[in-house]
Structure 1
Amino acid sequence: MDNPDGGELLVNEFSAAVHHASTSQHLDEHKTWICSEGIDSISSPAELWELREDHFPNVQFLPHVQQHLETLDPKWFKGARRLLQQLEASAAAWDPSIPGGAHWEAANIRPEHQQARRERWWDDLDGVSRCFELHGNLNRGYGRIYFRLVPEEKAIRIAHIAEHL
């Protein structure tokens, strides 16, 4: 950069706390915030599905969940989007090496009762049938998101976003 006065170029360096600017070393520190930016502007299930890896990097979806989203009653979409955002935050902060599971950012995350677990089995991404025993409620108890923790991938895997089974 040229100095307009023709003299020696002076460079001033300083540090400032800026929420949206950082070095690549700080990316992990800001990752949750970066991923959550723009979620509220996602206005359709199709758009959410298309952007899922950008906004929910710690949440995985079984392939049939795309159809669940596309057929979800539109009045319940915001609740599903909000719960997915909360599950993402929980997964991002989760340390699988600490016993007890994740700290839930959403209210009412709980395992199914023993009898209900018989109906919460889906073929997982590797083709093995597994119990997706955890669930969170959508708006005012309508519908559920059924999921399981995947400690080896530090992820939450979604099997069902639809009506209560």
Structure 2
Amino acid sequence: MARDADGDLEFRCGEQVTEALGLADLFDGLVLSFSDPRWRQRLLSVERTEVVEMPEGQLELVTTSIEVRNACTPDDVDAHRPWLDTAGKPPFEDFDNFEVDRADRLANLDFLGRALDQLRAIEPTHPWWSAICGRLDELQEAMVEWDPTTSPEPQWRSRVTGEHQQRRRLCDFTDLDGETRCFDQHARFTPHAGRLHFRLNPVGPRLIVAHIGLKL
């Protein structure tokens, strides 16, 4: 059983509980396997079960199907090369460095002014800084691989969900073009209940970040 800030997690591949695949999912990593026939796949199908607090306050078990990167031959490693070339990037040095480099490093991401102000207020020495930079890199990676004509949203690298109907009104923000839109999709970061709210625009495609901070 692996843990994150949102509760206990259990990962199963077939009928087998697997901590290694769970850690690979939590840290957006790669599993190295031996040549057992069960593991001769570059993407392993895994069922992730977690305890989730629902909007009404009750706790429920939620199971999600995910895919975990796997390699057991040199050809498998080559197949994952695009991810390997971008994995493990250091965080931005500070907000000034973020502003200079984001057009290249986060080429598919846009930010509302309020989100930039929130990020500017976070010191690079704060634990949130590295966590947020990692989430932004993951979102960019997912956006690069997304084809809006074949899938309604990208293959996320960490847990991304939308708000329930009762809470969506909290996610309305003035968009870049002056229109009010709902930014209810959100990724998580720790410590505490950190949230990064955004919406998708299939034209581009683009991901527009509206909120970086505590849970709305």
Band of TM-score, shorter chain: 0.7 to 0.9
Looking at secondary structure, tell me which structure has more strand per residue: 2
Look up the equivalent residue of 2:139 and give its one-letter code. L
Q: Does 1:129 align with 2:210?
A: no
SS at 1:54's partner residue?
helix
Q: Does 1:102 align with 2:160?
A: no
Larger gyration radius, structure 1 or structure 2: 1
Q: For each residue in 1:68-95, what CA deviation from the matched residue of structure 2 results, as whole angstroms up to 9, or x when unmatched?
A: 1111252210000000000000110000
Q: Does 1:67 align with 2:117?
A: yes
Q: For each residue in 1:126-163, what CA deviation from the matched residue of structure 2 results, as whole angstroms up to 9, or x when unmatched?
A: 11100001000012453110001110121111001111
Equivalent of 1:83 in 118, 129, 135 = 135
Instruction: Report the counterpart of residue 47 of structure 1 in structure 2.
Output: 97
8 Å CA contact 2:139, 2:156 repeated in 1: yes
Look up the equivalent residue of 1:161 and give its one-letter code. I
Look up the equivalent residue of 1:67 and give its one-letter code. D
Greater relative contact order (CA < 8 Å, ≥ 6 in sequence): 1
More off after superposition, 135-144 vs 148-157: 135-144
Gaps of 5+ in 2: 1-80
Looking at secondary structure, tell me which structure has more helix per residue: 1
Look up the equivalent residue of 2:99 and give its one-letter code. W
SS at 1:51's partner residue?
helix
Q: For each residue in 1:34-66, what CA deviation from the matched residue of structure 2 results, as whole angstroms up to 9, or x when unmatched?
A: xx4894052223322332111100111112222
More off after superposition, 119-128 vs 48-57: 48-57
Instruction: Report the counterpart of residue 139 of structure 1 in structure 2.
Output: 190
Instruction: Output the aligned Cα RMSD.
Output: 2.3
SS at 1:117's partner residue?
helix
Instruction: Report the counterpart of residue 205 of structure 2 in structure 1.
Output: 154
Name the CA shift for 1:129/1:32 in 2 (closer, same or farther; >3 Å): farther
Runs of 4+ in 1 over 3 A off after TM superposition: 29-33, 36-39
Instruction: Report the counterpart of residue 114 of structure 1 in structure 2.
Output: 165
8 Å CA contact 2:200, 2:206 repeated in 1: yes
TM-score, normalising length: structure 2:
0.56
Gaps of 5+ in 1: 1-28
Q: How many residues align?
A: 134
8 Å CA contact 2:146, 2:154 repeated in 1: yes
Look up the equivalent residue of 1:129 and give its one-letter code. T
More off after superposition, 38-47 vs 49-58: 38-47
Name the CA shift for 1:41/1:147 in 2 (closer, same or farther; >3 Å): closer
Name the CA shift for 1:54/1:37 in 2 (closer, same or farther; >3 Å): farther
Inter-partner Cα distance in structure 1 for 2:89 and 2:152? 29
SS at 2:93's partner residue?
coil
